[in-house]
Amino acid sequence: MHTKPILIEVTVNDHRGRQPLGIMSAKQALELPDLPSFAFSLPLEGDRAVTRGYLRAFA
């Protein structure tokens, strides 16, 4: 488990395209429902996409 907090950008893909939900911690992002329409990225690392598995290491 990592101790350094990271910022996660969360978006949802819907009929209008990619919609931002906000910036949150890994723990907050993991508390969202496990739906395929949610996408996670690292805004401080060039918006690199990450998975829920990656987030678990920081929650």
Model confidence pLDDT, tens digit, residues 34-53: 999 999 999 999 999 999 99
What's the predicted TM-score (pTM) here?
0.85
Q: Average model confidence (pLDDT) for the chain? A: 92
Q: Where are the alpha helices (DSSP H) in the chain?
A: 26-30, 52-56
Is residue 5 helix, strand or coil? Answer: coil
Residue 5: pLDDT over 80? no
The domain limits of the chain are 7-56
Q: How far apart are CA 33 and CA 45, in angstroms?
A: 24
Q: For the chain, what percent of residues have pLDDT higher than 90?
A: 86
Residues near 5 by beta carbon (within 8 Å), at least 6 away in sequence = 25, 26, 58
- Whether 1 shows a pLDDT value over 80: the answer reads no
Q: Does residue 4 surpass a pLDDT of 80?
A: no
The count of residues in the chain is: 59
| 3 state SS of 26 | helix
Structural contact between residues 35 and 10, judged by C-beta atoms closer than 8 angstroms: no
